[in-house]
Amino acid sequence: MKIKLIPFILLTKMLIVSSCHKEIKSKKGGIDLISNVYFDASRGLDQMQSFHISKMSYSEDHLIEIVPDRTFPEINKQLFLIKDSLYYPLLSENKATIFSEVVFKQKPLSVSEKKEGAVFSKEHIANYRNRRKLSDTILFGKQYKRFEINSPWNYTRFYIYPTDTILPYALYRHAEQDYRGRLERIDSYNKKTDIFVTLQLIPRKNWDEAAKELFEFNHFVERSKSE
Q: What is the pLDDT of residues 54-90, one digit of tens each?
A: 999 999 999 999 999 988 878 888 999 999 899 999 9
Read off the pLDDT of each residue in 111-116 and give the average, rounded to a whole number: 93
Amino acid, single-letter form, for residue 124: H
User: Does pLDDT of 142 surpass 80?
Assistant: yes
User: Does pLDDT of 131 surpass 50?
Assistant: yes
* pLDDT at residue 17, as a whole number: 46
Q: In sequence order, what are the residues at sequence separation of 6 or more whose Cβ sits closer than 8 angstroms to the Cβ of residue 64?
A: 56, 57, 58, 79, 80, 81, 82, 207, 210, 211, 214, 215
* pLDDT at residue 2, as a whole number: 46
* pLDDT at residue 11, as a whole number: 47
Alpha helices by DSSP H, listed for the chain, are 2-20, 99-105, 173-179, 209-226
pLDDT band (50, 70, 90) for residue 3: very low
d(CA 109, CA 102): 12
Count each helix (H run) and each strand (E run) in the chain, helices first: 4, 13
User: Does pLDDT of 7 surpass 70?
Assistant: no
Residue 20 CA: distances (Å) to CA of 8, 177, 205: 19, 15, 25
Amino acid, single-letter form, for residue 168: P
Do 124 and 172 meet the contact criterion of CB atoms below 8 Å apart? Answer: yes
Q: What is the pLDDT of residues 17-44, one digit of tens each?
A: 444 557 899 999 999 999 999 999 999 9
What is the separation, in whole angstroms, between the first and last Cα of the chain? 64
Read off the pLDDT of each residue in 217-227 and give the average, rounded to a whole number: 86
d(CA 169, CA 216): 21
- Cα atoms in the Cβ-side hemisphere of radius 13 Å centred on 131: 18
Architecture of domain 24-118+126-220: Clam (2.50)
Question: What ranges do the domains of the chain cover?
Answer: 24-118+126-220
Q: How confident is the prediction for the chain on average, in pLDDT? A: 89
What percent of the chain is modeled with pLDDT above 90?
77
* pLDDT at residue 21, as a whole number: 57
Q: In sequence order, what are the residues at sequence separation of 6 or more whose Cβ sits closer than 8 angstroms to the Cβ of residue 195?
A: 37, 38, 39, 41, 189
- 82 burial level (CB within 10 Å; 0-12, 13-18, 19+): buried
Read off the pLDDT of each residue in 86-113 and give the average, rounded to a whole number: 89
pTM: predicted TM-score of the whole model, two decimal places: 0.86
Q: In sequence order, what are the residues at sequence separation of 6 or more whose Cβ sits closer than 8 angstroms to the Cβ of residue 187?
A: 156, 157, 159, 196, 197, 198
Residue 128, sorted as left (phi over 0), alpha (psi -120 to 50) or beta, turns out to be alpha
Residue 171 CA: distances (Å) to CA of 1, 182, 197: 50, 9, 15
pLDDT band (50, 70, 90) for residue 5: very low
